[in-house]
């Protein structure tokens, strides 16, 4: 995978506890263009949620988030709205409850 950073020549340092001491080690280094390419699964696992990335040899495809719009329907007249608050307002204005005496 190829990862992209906004900072060129970025060194990614990780630390690991060994007994009573902590060892620091360099995970990877981004080049002068802010890119690093790796097939190491451990590096991919640590970088995939932090940096922009794409598969090697493929074009970067942006994910399109599709939201399913939930609709609410009036039980009395069948009017459809996309918000529960609008449905409540519809019931209150169009189908008011009879006033008790």
Average pLDDT, the chain: 83
Q: Which pLDDT value is given to residue 63?
A: 63
Residue 61 has pLDDT above 70, yes or no: no
pTM of the model: 0.47
Whether the Cβ atoms of residue 32 and residue 9 lie closer than 8 Å to each other: yes
Q: Which pLDDT value is given to residue 51?
A: 86
Half-sphere exposure of 40 (CA within 13 A, CB side): 10
Domains in the chain, start-ordered, CATH in brackets?
Answer: 2-54 (no CATH), 67-101 (3.30.160)
Residue-wise pLDDT for 48-57, tens only, equals 888 888 876 5
pLDDT-above-90 percentage for the chain: 17
Averaged over 6-30, what is the pLDDT? 84
Integer Cα distance of 64 and 75 in angstroms: 34
Q: Which pLDDT value is given to residue 90?
A: 92
Whether the Cβ atoms of residue 59 and residue 49 lie closer than 8 Å to each other: no
């Amino acid at each position: 995978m190829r990862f992209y950073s906004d900072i060129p020549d970025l060194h990614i340092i990780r630390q690991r506890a060994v007994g009573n001491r902590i060892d620091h080690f360099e995970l990877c280094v981004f080049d002068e263009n802010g890119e690093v390419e790796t097939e190491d699964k451990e590096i991919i696992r640590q970088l995939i949620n932090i940096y922009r990335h794409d598969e090697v040899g493929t074009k970067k495809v942006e994910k399109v988030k599709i939201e399913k719009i939930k609709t609410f329907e009036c039980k009395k007249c069948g009017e459809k709205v996309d918000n529960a608050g609008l449905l409540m307002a519809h019931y209150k204005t169009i189908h008011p409850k009879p006033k008790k005496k």
